[in-house]
Amino acid sequence: MRRLAKARPPANVSPDGQTPRSFADAERAYLAALPSRPETVRFARSEYGRLEKRRLRQVMYSEQGSLCVYCERELCENNGPPHVEHWRPLSRDPQHALHWNNLYLSCPTMDTCDGAKRDRPLKGDDTDPDLPWPIELDYENLVGFTSQGVMCVRDDAHMDEATRRTLELAIDDRQHDGMPQRAILNLNHPTLVAARSAALDSERTRHQRDFENRTATRDEREQRATQLLRREQLPAFVSIRVSWLRGMLGRGR
């Protein structure tokens, strides 16, 4: 999970052959009609369903460096295109059903990310605020990793208690008031931990090859981290790679 910058929404979200309509116009028309609709969620689903998702994805790939907004697996149009995900679920927040800042690409896996989250809100319990959108918070500074690829909420990071509680529940199963709670995004699923560990191995191997007879300086490691983060297509699990390059693995654990 990293902070993102949203690009301008698509200038046309109509399917091929239909009159072009911008995302902004679609949202405006939707919000104008919403108060008069008795079944808001059904109306939200129907209006959201009219958007040509391929055109949304085209913009979102570049916003996210073609990585899942949650787990940082690589995304592509082959093998089933990624899901356009409502950060705040449409069924609970129809007001933001067609809101650009609420839409992100998630990998199409069943047991993690949007496949695990479904209609659950990103919050610890109903009284908590929703976890801020990734345009509002530096998530990469709130979560950390172990050298085995396990993700954690850093105990040395500053955040309010509700954010910490929700982030912890997003990543792992928790106990709350003595009751078990299932992880919302399940970001320490064994396949993800193994994949992060493999990404780390590949980064280390490359590093050993490049600096065969000496230790890389801090500046050289930072340079590599910056190079990785500037790529149009980010490498899968870029956060753990950068965390290792910056000497942050295990920090705040």
Of 1, 60, 71, 187, the residue at the interface with Zn ion (CB under 5 A) is 71
Options 9-17, 24-32, 99-107, 236-244: segment touching Zn ion (CB under 5 A)? 99-107
Q: Determine which helix (DSSP H) or strand (DSSP E) holds 196, and give its type and residue range.
A: helix 190-210
**140: nearest Cα among 203, 67, 76:** 67
Options 100-108, 217-225, 230-238, 240-248: segment touching Zn ion (CB under 5 A)? 100-108
Number of C-beta neighbours around residue 21 at 10 A: 17
Would you give the binding string for Zn ion spanning residues 113-152, x where CB under 5 A is met?
A: x---------------------------------------
When the beta carbons of 53 and 73 are compared against Zn ion, the nearer one is: 73
Measured CA to CA, the distance from residue 37 to residue 44 in angstroms comes to 10
Of 107, 116, 169, 200, the residue at the interface with Zn ion (CB under 5 A) is 107
Binding residues for Zn ion restricted to 208-237, rule: CB under 5 A: none
| Closest separation in Å from C-beta 183 to Zn ion | 13
When the beta carbons of 26 and 169 are compared against Zn ion, the nearer one is: 169
Options 6-14, 50-58, 68-76, 244-252: segment touching Zn ion (CB under 5 A)? 68-76
Measured CA to CA, the distance from residue 122 to residue 101 in angstroms comes to 15
Of 4, 59, 67, 68, the residue at the interface with Zn ion (CB under 5 A) is 68
Does 199 sit near Zn ion (CB under 5 A)? no
Is there a contact between 98 and 26 (Cβ–Cβ < 8 Å)?
Answer: yes
Does 70 sit near Zn ion (CB under 5 A)? yes
Measured CA to CA, the distance from residue 31 to residue 98 in angstroms comes to 9
Amino acid at 162: A
Could you give the angle at the alpha carbon of 172 between the alpha carbons of 161 and 117, nearest 5°? 95
Measured CA to CA, the distance from residue 115 to residue 244 in angstroms comes to 28
